[in-house]
Each structure stands twice: as structure tokens, then as C-alpha cells.
Amino acid sequence: MKISFVGAGNVAWHLAKAMDKQNQTIVEVYSRNIKNAARLCEKLYHTKATTNLDFTNSVADIFIIAVPDDCIEMVVNECQFPENSTVVHTSGTVPLHVLANIDNCKTGVFYPLQTFSKSKELDMKKIPICLEASDIITEKLLEKLAFKICENVCFYNSDDRKTLHLAAVFACNFTNHLLTLSKKILINEGLEFSLIKPLITETLEKALQIEPENSQTGPASRHDHKIIAQHLKMLAYSESLSTIYSAITESILDKNNGKR
């Protein structure tokens, strides 16, 4: 297949390299900043860097828009695509229908459920790729492309993708922030975050292995109200820490949390 990337950020970086490695032709990489596009092209077999959003004369069949979520609509409005090509975005939060105005093209979503950074290599094979397509032919095309780079391909509509994204905010963005807060609590008292890193690693491994609902420990899970009161006293200096502590503690104490 012949593929072009609109965007040269973290997602484009990993997808383009994985596809290139599997002998797919990456035709162009667009970026507003030619240097960013060129840096990615250096890693690919034979790809042109461009700052031009008019792809009318491109030989690519598939255009992958990999720009920040809130830029997708704007970029789409500025792009010109060749007739009968397929245009997809890579976002978990943006519905398929934002691509509906593209004339004479098939559309879809090609959403890799992972967090990417350029500096960290990843085994793409293990990453779930969630697909959605405007029609059954595009479905088959995207499925074929996804299976070239990974083993775990699934179809979800825009609503399911929203749920996946919300769940990921709790499981990833919020857990990351709790680590930041934990580090601040330690540093405030002159202690080092590295001390609790082995504990964090083991806790997460265990949660994923035996499922988190079976691995809950701590004062709230054993209803130790004495320690909870002590902790809230220690956190009295920060309204934000106290609020988070209380909210999560209440939720652990309440067995019905999160149920519809």
C-alpha cells in the first residue's frame, strides 16, 4: 500500500516507521515545520517531506492524519486529497464524522491504543489498533494495513472509542498524576521518590496479573479509619491533596462505586 502521513508527531513517528519496516511505501510526510517532517523521513526508506496540504497529485492511496485532536478539523478543511483515496485520523476522542465533508473519499479511524514518545521504542505488535470505517471496503483495507504492523486489531465505533479514551484517562493520565502527587508528598518531607519505585512496579504488575479489584490494599480497603484520619491531618496543608484523598478513599470504602 502507498501511505502518506499528515503530521510528524509521536503517533506518525511510530506508525510510519512500523509500516515502512513492513515494506509499505510511505509516500509523503507533511508537517507545518519542514524540519520535523524531514527528521521522520530520514528514518524511512524513500519518503518526501512536505509543507504542502494539497495532495491532489499524490500517488498515495491512504492518508493518515496524525495531528493533535483539536487540529484535525482545521487540517481536514485545508487539505486537498486525490479522488477515491482513503482518509483516516488516529484519534480516540474525535468521531469519524469530522471527516464526512471530504469529497469523493472513503474515511476511517486508525487509532492505536498506546502512548507514544519519539525517544522510546515500542513493540507495535502488542498494541491494539482500533478501527472504524465509512464502508465495508475501507474496513477491509484498514484491517489489512493494521495487521501488517500489529496482532491485535479491533473494530469500535466512535462511542466505544470515547469510552476507551475515558477509561484510559483514569487508568493512565490520572495514575500518572497520582505518582506526581506522591513524589511531591515525599519531596516536601525531604524523602526520595526512587524509594517507592519498586513498590509501584510490583503493585501495577500485580493489578494487571490478578485484576485490580482483587489486589486492592491500604487503609481504605481494610476500613482503617484511624489511619485515614491521620492521613487527612497530614494533608491538611493542601486542599487539593485532601480532596483527592477523600474522594478516592470514599470510593474504595463504597463497594458500589462506578456501577451504573
110-129: which residues touch a second copy (CB under 8 A)?
Answer: 113-115, 117, 120, 122, 126-128
Answer whether 111's CB lies under 8 Å from 129's CB. yes
Measured from the CB atom, the residue of 35 and 120 that comes closer to a second copy is 120
Residue 149 cell numbers, joined: 504492523
d(CA 171, CA 193): 21
DSSP secondary structure code for residue 64 in this structure: E
Among 68, 137, 140, 147, binds a second copy (CB under 8 A): 68
Measured from the CB atom, the residue of 38 and 69 that comes closer to a second copy is 69
Among 74, 100, 137, 227, binds a second copy (CB under 8 A): 227
Least CB distance from residue 174 to a second copy, whole Å? 5
**Residue whose C-alpha cell is 465509512:** 134
Q: Choose one: 13-21, 39-47, 136-144, 205-213; the region binding a second copy (CB under 8 A).
A: 205-213
Q: Does 12 bind a second copy (CB under 8 A)?
A: no
Least CB distance from residue 118 to a second copy, whole Å? 12
Q: Does 59 bind a second copy (CB under 8 A)?
A: no
Q: Does 147 bind a second copy (CB under 8 A)?
A: no
Measured from the CB atom, the residue of 3 and 131 that comes closer to a second copy is 131
d(CA 141, CA 112): 16
Secondary structure of residue 132 in the 3-state scheme: strand
Among 100, 137, 182, 229, binds a second copy (CB under 8 A): 182
Q: Choose one: 27-35, 36-44, 73-81, 219-227; the region binding a second copy (CB under 8 A).
A: 219-227
Count of CB atoms situated within 10 Å of the CB of 64: 25
Phi, psi of 80 (to 5 degrees): -120, 125
**Residue whose C-alpha cell is 505518582:** 179
Measured from the CB atom, the residue of 106 and 161 that comes closer to a second copy is 161
Measured from the CB atom, the residue of 59 and 167 that comes closer to a second copy is 167
3-state secondary structure 203-226: HHHHHHHHCHHHCCCCCCCCCCHH
Measured from the CB atom, the residue of 25 and 242 that comes closer to a second copy is 242
- E-assigned strands of the chain? 2-6, 25-30, 48-50, 62-65, 86-89, 106-112, 129-133, 153-155
Residues 75-94 that bind a second copy (CB under 8 A): 93
Least CB distance from residue 205 to a second copy, whole Å? 8
Ramachandran quadrant class, 124 (left: phi over 0; alpha: psi -120 to 50; beta: rest): alpha
